[in-house]
Structure 1
Amino acid sequence: MPESHDFFVAADPGSVRARVRGALVREGYTVEDGEQGALRATRGSMGLTLLIGGLANDRTFHTRLDVQIMVASDGRTVARLLRGAGTSALKGGALGVSRGNRAFEQAANAIHTDLAQAGVLTESIPG
């Protein structure tokens, strides 16, 4: 499973940030501004996840994702979706890893769909 996903977009960083934020909010994430224009998205309950682990459903299993927004050398805006560093296994064993993978994939698909429907996505590369 990739640890990141890069979305190359023919739009300004501000509008890309707004679209990515909207896509993640529709997936049930709370999105906060991070440093240098990044976004930090969280979903679910850490307490409940630690208590019942992988038995939590997709919306209650605690997930954290980060998005870096930058400009590539060719002038396109890049939104890089990053998964949390290996904590899914600690929060629910094999089921936790599966839930974390699914959450990352769902978020990447939601961002991809939003940018593609807006007609601004030029390239999408899992990394």
Structure 2
Amino acid sequence: MPESHDFFVAADPESTRAIVRDALVREGYTVADGDQGTLLATRGSLALTLIVGGLLNDRTFHTRLDVQLMVAPDGRAVARLLRGSGRSAVKGGALGVARGNRAFEQAANAIHASLAQAGVLTDSIPS
């Protein structure tokens, strides 16, 4: 499972930020602004996840994702989706890892679809 996913976009960073933010909100994340233009997305309850672990459903299992926005040397905006801090295995063992992987994949798919629908996605590379 990739630890990050880069989305190359033919749009300015602020427009890209708005599209990515909306995609994550539709996936049930609360999105806050971080340092240097980073988006911090969280979903679910950390306290409940630490108590019940992997038995929670996808929307209540605590997940954190970060998105860095930058400009590539060729001038395209890049939105890099990163797994957030806090390992899923600690929060639910094998079920927690599976939920964390699924959350990352769902977020990547949602961002990809939103950028493609807006007509600005030029490339998408998991890494």
**Where do 4+ consecutive residues of structure 1 move more than 2 Å?**
none
Match of 1:7 in 2: 7
Measure the CA separation in 1 of the matches of 2:85 and 2:24.
19
Match of 2:18 in 1: 18
Match of 1:69 in 2: 69
Percent identity over paired residues: 81
Aligned length in residues: 127
How much has 1:78 moved relative to structure 2?
0.1
Match of 1:38 in 2: 38
One-letter amino acid matched to 2:91: K
Match of 1:58 in 2: 58
Change (3 A) 1:86 1:44: closer
TM-score, normalization by structure 2 = 0.98
SS at match of 2:20: helix
Unpaired stretches in structure 1, ≥5 consecutive residues: none
Measure the CA separation in 2 of the matches of 1:86 and 1:42.
11
Measure the CA separation in 2 of the matches of 1:69 and 1:63.
20
Match of 1:105 in 2: 105
One-letter amino acid matched to 1:19: I
Match of 2:79 in 1: 79
Measure the CA separation in 2 of the matches of 1:36 and 1:17.
12
Measure the CA separation in 2 of the matches of 1:117 and 1:84.
26
* RMSD (Å), alpha carbons: 0.7
One-letter amino acid matched to 1:36: Q
How much has 1:84 moved relative to structure 2?
2.3
